[in-house]
Amino acid sequence: MIRTIALIVLLIFINATQSFSLSRNFNGYRFSASIKNKNGTYEEYTQNSKCIIYVNENDEYSISVNNPLPVRVAVAVTVDGLNTIDGKFTSAAAARKWIIEPYGTLTLRGWQTSNEMLRRFVFTNKTRSYAQWKESKDKTSYTANLGVIGVAYFWNQQELEEVLNPPKRYFEGQKSNNSLFPYKRSSPAPESKASKEESRAGTGMGTREINHVTSVNFTYNTGMYSNRDILIIRYEFAKPEPKPFKDISDSYFVPDMYE
């Protein structure tokens, strides 16, 4: 059993109709996450059996994470291998985590830089990425993990079992041999080289925003301890749309550079 300090965002975003681009079945539940920009959710593609999205440089984005359980969960969220709370590269179990309420959705809009502020996630090239800045600062390699977003869930199994199997109670004022409260057990969600390096997609720090958070103690003993279990979304810069023919020019003469 592990006791950790996790963060609660004081404003939780919940949307029952929200669509998620990536989902994984784990322990009988479907865990899901999505990446969004101002225009909506990025479409997911499959490449070599891996989930990938194609992005545009300088786009700010957010990460939405869904909790399918009837209890609180702690989620470790990394961008380019670095934790979104403290910027460290650790195991999923050791990572600082966010708290999501039962059946809730948490939307992370950026790197949490203090108890009150964040810097927006923004797609950028390797040179301007946070991983490159931290690599230069710490003299440790981080950019090998550019282009990957990871989400790992953890929860307390005893707490979950208590919610799914609560103690049986008698009707108030009735004798012990009378009918019991009916209880329906919640069902799990249905299963439903240099220049080339510089062109790699990464995530930098964008505009500053207010984002109040507070630290809480959270004890868990079940979850996604292995990279085999966590949700992984890879991202790359969108490539130009291939064309079957060259576009027709509107002019048959030399363009005037002064007009």
215 belongs to a structural domain: yes
Q: Identify whether 78 is part of a domain.
A: yes
Structure tokens given for 99: 């708290």
**Is 189 a member of any domain?**
yes
**Residue 172 domain flag:** no
Q: CA-CA distance, 25 to 48, in Å (whole number)?
A: 19
The reply to whether 187 falls in a domain is yes
The alpha-helical segments, DSSP class H, found in 98-156 are: 130-138
Domain contains 246: no
Alpha-carbon distances of 21 from 26, 117, 173, rounded to whole Å? 16, 27, 50
Strands 231-237 and 50-55: parallel
Ramachandran sector of residue 177 (left: φ over 0; alpha: ψ -120 to 50; beta: rest): alpha
Q: Is residue 170 part of a domain?
A: no
Q: pLDDT of the chain along its 259 residues, tens only?
A: 666 656 666 544 334 344 455 888 999 999 999 999 999 999 888 888 788 999 999 999 999 999 999 999 999 999 999 999 999 999 999 999 999 999 999 999 999 999 999 999 999 999 999 999 999 999 999 999 999 999 999 999 999 999 998 876 654 444 433 333 332 333 334 433 555 566 789 999 999 999 999 999 999 999 999 999 999 999 999 877 777 877 666 666 777 777 7
Identify the domain containing residue 85 by its residue range: 2-164+181-237
How many domains are contained in the chain? 1
Alpha-carbon distance of 79 to 148, in angstroms, equals: 6
Structural domain includes residue 251: no
